[in-house]
Amino acid sequence: MTTTTKNTFGFGCNPVIKKMHDRAETTTSTDAATYKGVARKTGFFLLMAVAGFAAFFLLHMALGGGTAPDLQYNIIEIFQLNMYIPEAAVAGMALIISVIAPLFAWFFRSAIPVVGTFYALCEGYTIGFLTGMLAPQYQWISAAALVITILVVGAMLFLYARRIIIVGKKFRTVVTAVFITMILGGLLTTILFMIPFTRVLISPILTFMGNPLISLGLSIVFLIVAALFLLVDFSVIEECIERGISSKFEWMAAFGLTYTIIYIYFRVLDLILKIVSMTKNS
């Protein structure tokens, strides 16, 4: 017998994980979600991201065969475009899937194992593409971002497990409000910049944000908010598991965690790139 419980979290958490909480069904059977189950499925998605990363370089080597890349440009000293057209096309498709996949996960819960797999593969391929664009002497940045991401996730898990940081309703609400504002603000700025008429209106804002110190400060703030958002995910998952929800929700929890972890990776990567760029220009 199953019963549906009332949502007590408001809007303060990862949208996919919040949906898990809202629709969670408690069960008295042995088919209940476990921390180990969520960890295994999260590990699977992250392994798929690694596979996507490797797929980029395998494709790059397969297309090479002694021929020069189709696209060769020195963008800036840190980035050098040396790509073949097919791998660049795949990168474009991977980026589109990465944006669409979370929406599918939101509306079609039962498809999360498949959607999440494609999402992780595409995000891994995108990371591989960005790593391939780095000049040879700067490709260590990708590995450094991975190490720092692991440390950040580990630190947040430690702080949460030890209750050094208590995640209450107000904490969840504030962190999520800042996180959503941050995401929507970035999307709105991008859209306005693509429209010639509005581009003039936002140019003073872009100039201000383009200041190296301001840009670096914003990157640090974005990373801190993303790390705190991970604590909110842990909180919701813990309550759902302690309530004895069905194991079918493990995939939803794993996808939500994977999304946040990969987002943290990109924030770390962005921060390192800005620090390296400032160091070179100083």
In this prediction, residues 175-186 reach a mean pLDDT of 80
CA distance linking residue 53 with residue 61, whole number of Å: 13
Q: Ramachandran region of residue 10, left (φ > 0), alpha (ψ -120 to 50) or beta? A: left
Are the C-beta atoms of residues 278 and 59 closer than 8 Å to each other?
A: no
Are the C-beta atoms of residues 21 and 95 closer than 8 Å to each other?
A: no
Q: What confidence score (pLDDT) does residue 19 get?
A: 55
Residue with tokens 């008429």: 197
In this prediction, residues 162-178 reach a mean pLDDT of 88
Lowest mean pLDDT among 6-20, 93-107, 176-190, 244-258: 6-20
CA distance linking residue 185 with residue 200, whole number of Å: 17
CA distance linking residue 90 with residue 96, whole number of Å: 10
SS3 219: helix
Are the C-beta atoms of residues 216 and 2 closer than 8 Å to each other?
A: no
Question: Pseudo-torsion of CA 64, 128, 93, 183, nearest 10°?
Answer: -160
SS3 77: coil
Q: What confidence score (pLDDT) does residue 11 get?
A: 40
Q: What confidence score (pLDDT) does residue 68 get?
A: 58
Say what percent of the chain tops pLDDT 70.
Answer: 83
Helix/strand/coil percentages in the chain, nearest 5: 75, 5, 15
pTM to 2 decimal places = 0.82
In this prediction, residues 49-76 reach a mean pLDDT of 77
Quote the tokens at residue 8: 């007590």
Span 90-139, pLDDT tens digits: 889 998 999 899 888 888 888 999 999 999 999 999 999 999 888 888 88
Nearest CA-CA partner of 253 in 19, 10, 1: 19
Say what percent of the chain tops pLDDT 90.
Answer: 41
β-bridge pairing 71-74 and 80-83: antiparallel
CA distance linking residue 184 with residue 202, whole number of Å: 15
Cβ neighbours of residue 81 closer than 8 Å, sequence gap 6 or more: 71, 72, 73, 74, 75, 133
Amino acid at 131: T
Nearest CA-CA partner of 126 in 16, 253, 265: 265
SS3 134: strand
What Cα–Cα distance (Å) separates residue 100 from each residue in 38, 106, 186, 262? 23, 10, 17, 15
Q: What residue segments make up the domains of the chain, in order of their start?
A: 18-281
Q: What confidence score (pLDDT) does residue 107 get?
A: 84
Are the C-beta atoms of residues 11 and 234 closer than 8 Å to each other?
A: no
Task: Look at residue 169 and tell me whether its pLDDT is greater than 60.
Answer: yes
In this prediction, residues 198-217 reach a mean pLDDT of 76
Question: From the centroid of its chain, how far is CA 58?
Answer: 23
